A and B are shown apart, each in its own frame.
Chain A
Amino acid sequence: MTSLLSLRGVLRAYRGDAAPFALEVPAFDLAEGEVLALAGPSGSGKSTLLMMLALAAPPDAAERFDFAGQDIARHWKMGRGDALADLRARRIGVVPQTGGLLPFLTVEANIGLTQRIAGRTDADRVRLLAEELGIAAQLRKRPAELSVGQRQRAAIARALAHRPALVLADEPTASVHPELADAVLALLKRECAAAGAALLVATHDPARAERLGYPVLACRTHAPGADGIARSVFERLPEIAEAA
């Protein structure tokens, strides 16, 4: 399989829940169409890693950071904000924790938003996704009129509407009922597989992810050393990736 994401020696410092943390990614690869759950306790840097992978936050240091054949580390270094925005628009779909729908747009417009930003308007795909995710009847409504589960499904549809290469979901089950959590994870996996998109899900519930067929990459955490900085390491060696 072709590598969609390839990171080597990536570092990013951030402030965790209690103490300063340093996120380290010695090696991380993700192939096209691959599915993976990132697991770790709260504050372990899962969201920070997703932000970097979503090209929304720069690494402090990176030996290599390639995405879809482009040198992301160089884009950040050269301040190519528009190039990064274009990559986010065309190649990446995101599912934030609570959906992140815009309250002033209808559900249909929210789903179609990624298409419009990417310049790939396709009303039929919006309707098809809505039907598959069981929210076709909600298309004319505003997000405030939807239940939490419906909002998450609308966010999944939005993340897939513009046919991205990679879908990133940050704790998509954190605010939903446990029964709904299984449904959300299963829907994400099924729709990404149907769309041929790779899927990365950050979760604090690796058991649920495993049960639903997600390979899980757990982070290793290290207590603060002499410098007072705790470390969180996400490592996925190529052979492991290939095995997965």
Chain B
Amino acid sequence: MILRLALADLRHERVLFLCSALGCAAVLAPLIVLFGLRQGVVAGLRAELLEDPRAREIVSVVNRTLEPEVLARIAADPRVAFMVPRTRALSATIVLENPSRPGGGLRVELLPTGQGDPLLPGLSVIDMDELVVSATALQRLGLNVGDPVLASVARSQGGVREVLTLPMRVGGVAPLTAATRDAAFATLPVLVLTEDFLDGSAATDARPDASLPPRPFAGFRLHAARLDDVPALDRELRLSGIEVASRAEAVAGLLRLDRNLALLFLAIAGAGGAGYLVSLGVGLWAQVERKRRDLALLSLLGLRRRGLLMMPLLQAAAVALAGAMLAFAIAASVATVLNRAFAGTVTGDRPVCLLTAQMGVAAAGVTLAGALVAAMLAGMRAAAVPPAEGLAEG
């Protein structure tokens, strides 16, 4: 019944209601656009970084002797999604040869990989006799996925040239983002065997051993679980004396931009929103004073205090919801214009102003909560109107 009364009153004074809802929308719409811009710009830049798997990559750049415990500790960090040790850079090259084209060997960089390697999405499980080869190398060798390939590495021992040749298979093509140069990804035992062979500790007929005993490695390649983890991991690794390379600067810049835009939004939303809520509260208070006779009459007719309290609250809620819907409609139109105007410039193909249904619901929720707080004093004022005034002024 209270809802019906409150809405009937609003319907009766629809011009005033419309003005109040427009007032709400006038404050809210720019805030939604601003929030959409923040979301769009940040989400666009973030997506650009996320699309590049190397954005979350941190690699050690100086050959060191990293004990197995150190590597295990790094791998166990919950912020690390993937880690694979690597051998010394000098021993991480190999010659690939197409068996059907003898003599046409191609020297490629040998990179370690493992299950769930973000650089090789969709190729996470590779066998020890498989290589994931860069597209350029495959083209030069005239190979396709599934073809046999010979991988060899040579050493000179006591003046004699010895060659370790591993018959392998092309397990997949490495995407361009993973390797721009000629390269082949192999499981760690392959790299270890290559290093051991070059060191002279493995024979020419040795084969990769899946059951590697714990051993030190010269470095590692890891991928952070989240983009936001990259700067902290980079910093911590450097502090522990491991020289690394990553895109921590770019990520930190994005996070700074996100924070600064959030701060800017909060400042503007805070000032604008507070001003609006004060004006809404004052407006509702004035409305209670204007409606004092009606409220007193309702009280005289037996409406309880709680019912009287609810009248301004329900009306404020209706104004807030109508205002929020209006604001979102305005903001969506502005966003369409902005997205057309900035298409392909700031955030690539992504919208520069990103509005979602969730944002609309959140905006309505926040406005509703604020309006109810602002209306509370007016409601208490309404509840305190003495019923006697209904008879005296009726």
Contacts and interface: CB of A to CB of B under 8 A. Distances in A.
Contacts of B300: 54, 56, 88, 94
A114 interface: yes
A19 interface: no
A24 interface: no
B274 to A, nearest CB: 31
Given A104-B9, A116-B1, A51 B302 contact: no
B386 A56 contact: yes
A56 B12 contact: no
Interface stretch (A36-44, A79-87, A189-197, A228-236): A79-87
Contacts of A54: 300, 387-388, 391
A99 B394 contact: yes
B391 A89 contact: no
A100 B297 contact: yes
A117 B387 CA distance: 14
Interface in B262-296: 293-294
A179 B301 CA distance: 29
Given A103-B12, A116-B1, A96 B391 contact: yes
Contact of B297 (A50, A82, A96): A96
Interface of B: 1, 5, 8-9, 11-13, 293-294, 297-305, 386-388, 390-394
Contacts of B387: 54-57, 85, 88
A50 B8 CA distance: 30
A104 B301 contact: no
B301 A114 contact: yes
For the complex of A and B, 4 pairs with smallest distance between CB atoms: A96-B394, A89-B302, A100-B394, A104-B12
B381 to A, nearest CB: 16
Interface of A: 47, 50-51, 54-57, 81-82, 85-90, 92, 94, 96-100, 102-105, 109, 113-114, 116-118, 142, 168, 170
Contacts of B392: 47, 51
A85 B391 contact: no
A85 B305 contact: yes
Nearest to A168: B391
A56 B390 contact: yes
A100 B303 CA distance: 15
Contacts of B12: 103-104, 142
Contact of A57 (B5, B8, B302, B388): B388
A92 B387 CA distance: 13
Nearest to A202: B391
A89 B386 CA distance: 15
